[in-house]
A = this chain, B = another copy of it.
């Protein structure tokens, strides 16, 4: 596959000069068209043999296009901050907005390349890395991120020659780092690793292109042509099968909300005593040394007026405010709409030793967005698998993820709505939206049942709690959290 590049083809000065103005003009035009449409972003992943001039290629793209709309996303050794989050967190954080271009250097391929170029790559790790990359890229592509991947290649001879030339003059010798010399010895292994990766992770929506790099003119023209081609042609969308969630084959989800016991109650004295004791256990658990390497992610969903706010407050009362972040999730803001759906949740995830509480969550996609038609059918159907994967990445990194569906009966909701309307300081909590949602009770219930059937996983379980009695609900929520923490820590 590297055959063409291995022969180190070159382009004469004249040939290059003939192409440059046309390419630059076309690239700029394509860039402005993309910016104006703002319906997708472009990620250019840069990888390849060391010394092939990846840095120069990135500089070239910045010089040939309008650099104000290009972000160079260069990742080195993970920082402390990054280490406290799942591996893909830093890539999610830096995703460019629609209309923009991101050039990724030190991408998600680095760990896989390192593993693949070991003397004996460990197959299980290779598979795990590759699967994670596959899911990541498919998810982005489905959300309107166009991905192209460039492999900068040159022969071992050209690599050695280039190093010798640079070292030959004091003016250029500094360009050769100690790491560069080491890498030369591993030329064959890196080639092999690259080949493996290009073969296995080359879907039509995120294709690799090999850029012959021994000659700088050739490298420049091939880079520009590949980027131009991507900007003027829409990539195919990943097929729906990529995103099949467990249980999705079942035609009809069990009616968990309908089967719930809404009559359970707790009297006031029991409530206050149990609440205090549970809060104490919660406080101790999250102050423990063991928790310093974990994090806690709580997602609250449920019908309007089911008591999410009250339940959350009973949790936060037991916590040091410096340890917890509460994220009320509403309709996405402008910059959130300009990014893939899960972007805004990735950005709000807690680092180690911390707690994040989501008052409504990433499940909005399969609830309100599904029912109200804000998300296309393909989008919300795909979301179950994406969400399971999203949560899995958190738990794999040590997070404890718990999800609560607080459920009331329609009669109880009506009563609470009326109460809210009557209170001068609670009526802000009730809006025409709430009444509208109520009319779609069954649609929401059915979406919730589907969601529960598809996303109630071992690693991130749902707790479905009847909240007609607020005291019972609050104690039950706390109990579930305390049990999960005490079991894990």
Residues in chain A within 8 A of chain B (CB atoms)? 21, 24-25, 27-28, 32, 55, 58-59, 62-64, 66-68, 72, 74-76, 79-81, 105-106, 169-175, 177, 272-273, 275-277, 279-281, 283-284, 287, 309, 313, 316-318, 320-324, 326, 328, 330, 334-335, 351, 424-425, 428
A81 and chain B: residue at smallest CB distance: B81
Please give, as numbers and ranges, the residues of chain B lying within 8 Å of A276 by CB-CB distance.
169-172
Please give, as numbers and ranges, the residues of chain B lying within 8 Å of A66 by CB-CB distance.
428
If the complex has contacts A64-B425, A170-B280, are A74 and B322 also in contact, measured as CB distance less than 8 A?
Answer: yes
Please give, as numbers and ranges, the residues of chain B lying within 8 Å of A169 by CB-CB distance.
276
B59, B81, B174, B334: the one within 8 Å of A279 (CB): B174
Q: Shortest Cβ distance from A74 into chain B, in angstroms?
A: 4
Contact in complex: B58, A174 (CB < 8 Å): no
Task: Specify how many copies of this chain sit in the oligomer.
Answer: 2
A23 and chain B: residue at smallest CB distance: B425
A274 and chain B: residue at smallest CB distance: B171
Contact in complex: A25, B424 (CB < 8 Å): yes
Alpha-carbon distance between A177 and B63 when the two chains are bound, in angstroms: 58
17 residue pairs from A and B, CB less than 8 Å apart: A21-B424, A27-B425, A58-B321, A63-B313, A67-B309, A67-B328, A68-B328, A68-B330, A74-B321, A74-B323, A79-B351, A80-B81, A81-B81, A106-B322, A169-B276, A174-B281, A175-B283
Please give, as numbers and ranges, the residues of chain B lying within 8 Å of A24 by CB-CB distance.
424-425
Contact in complex: B75, A313 (CB < 8 Å): no
Please give, as numbers and ranges, the residues of chain B lying within 8 Å of A27 by CB-CB distance.
425
Please give, as numbers and ranges, the residues of chain B lying within 8 Å of A335 by CB-CB distance.
335
Q: 9 tightest CB-CB pairs across the interface, nearest first?
A: A171-B276, A174-B280, A24-B425, A80-B80, A76-B322, A74-B322, A74-B321, A25-B424, A68-B328
A279 and chain B: residue at smallest CB distance: B174
Alpha-carbon distance between A76 and B292 when the two chains are bound, in angstroms: 14
A76 and chain B: residue at smallest CB distance: B322
Alpha-carbon distance between A428 and B68 when the two chains are bound, in angstroms: 11
Alpha-carbon distance between A277 and B173 when the two chains are bound, in angstroms: 9
Contact in complex: A174, B283 (CB < 8 Å): yes
Contact in complex: A316, B171 (CB < 8 Å): no
Alpha-carbon distance between A384 and B335 when the two chains are bound, in angstroms: 32
B28, B80, B317, B334: the one within 8 Å of A59 (CB): B317
Alpha-carbon distance between A79 and B81 when the two chains are bound, in angstroms: 9
If the complex has contacts A328-B67, A425-B28, are A280 and B173 also in contact, measured as CB distance less than 8 A?
Answer: yes
Contact in complex: B32, A323 (CB < 8 Å): no
Please give, as numbers and ranges, the residues of chain B lying within 8 Å of A309 by CB-CB distance.
67
Contact in complex: A326, B277 (CB < 8 Å): no
Contact in complex: B171, A277 (CB < 8 Å): yes
Alpha-carbon distance between A441 and B90 when the two chains are bound, in angstroms: 44
Contact in complex: A425, B21 (CB < 8 Å): yes
Alpha-carbon distance between A439 and B313 when the two chains are bound, in angstroms: 60
Q: Shortest Cβ distance from A227 into chain B, in angstroms?
A: 14
Q: Which of A59, A74, A79, A322 has the most CB of B within 10 A?
A: A322
Alpha-carbon distance between A75 and B321 when the two chains are bound, in angstroms: 9
Contact in complex: B67, A326 (CB < 8 Å): yes
B106, B171, B174: the one within 8 Å of A272 (CB): B171
Q: Shortest Cβ distance from A125 into chain B, in angstroms?
A: 24
Please give, as numbers and ranges, the residues of chain B lying within 8 Å of A59 by CB-CB distance.
313, 316-317
Q: Shortest Cβ distance from A90 into chain B, in angstroms?
A: 12
Please give, as numbers and ranges, the residues of chain B lying within 8 Å of A68 by CB-CB distance.
328, 330
Q: Shortest Cβ distance from A314 into chain B, in angstroms?
A: 10
Alpha-carbon distance between A280 and B287 when the two chains are bound, in angstroms: 50
Alpha-carbon distance between A75 and B322 when the two chains are bound, in angstroms: 6
Please give, as numbers and ranges, the residues of chain B lying within 8 Å of A328 by CB-CB distance.
67-68
A319 and chain B: residue at smallest CB distance: B55
Contact in complex: B321, A72 (CB < 8 Å): yes
B25, B170, B330: the one within 8 Å of A425 (CB): B25
Q: Shortest Cβ distance from A315 into chain B, in angstroms?
A: 11
Contact in complex: A428, B174 (CB < 8 Å): no
Please give, as numbers and ranges, the residues of chain B lying within 8 Å of A63 by CB-CB distance.
313
Please give, as numbers and ranges, the residues of chain B lying within 8 Å of A79 by CB-CB distance.
80-81, 351
Please give, as numbers and ranges, the residues of chain B lying within 8 Å of A67 by CB-CB distance.
309, 326, 328
